[in-house]
Amino acid sequence: MSRLKDRIALVTGSGNGIGKATAQLFAAEGAHVHLADLDFAAADATAAVIREQGGNATAHATDVTQGQDVTALLRAIHAAHGKLDILVNNAGLNVRADFRHLTDAEWVKVREVNLDAVVRLARDGFEMLKASGRGSLINVASIMGSRAMRQLVAYSATKGAVAALTRGLAVEYAPYNIRVNTISPGFVQTALTKRVLRNPAIMDALVAETALRRLGETVEIARAVLFFASDDSSYCTGSELVVDGGMSASL
Residues sharing a CB contact under 8 Å with residue 173, sequence separation 6 or more, in sequence order:
126, 129, 135, 137, 179, 180, 237
Residues 155, 173, 176, 235: which is the catalytic one?
155
CB-based burial label for 150 (10 Å; 0-12, 13-18, 19+): exposed
Alpha carbon 64 to its chain's center:
12
Helix 218-229 vs helix 17-28: angle between axes, to the nearest 10 degrees?
50
Write the DSSP symbol of residue 175. G
Taking CA atoms, 227 is separated from 25, 144, 162, in Å, by 11, 22, 19
SS3 199: coil
Helix 153-173 vs helix 117-124: angle between axes, to the nearest 10 degrees?
20
Tell me how far apart the alpha carbons of residues 248 and 251 are, in angstroms, rounded to a whole number: 6
235 as an active site residue: the answer is no
Instruction: Say what the alpha-carbon torsion angle 104, 110, 116, 121 is, to the nearest 10 degrees.
Output: 150
Which DSSP string corresponds to 68-121? HHHHHHHHHHHHHHS--SEEEE---------GGG--HHHHHHHHIIIIIHHHHH
Residues acting as catalytic residues:
155
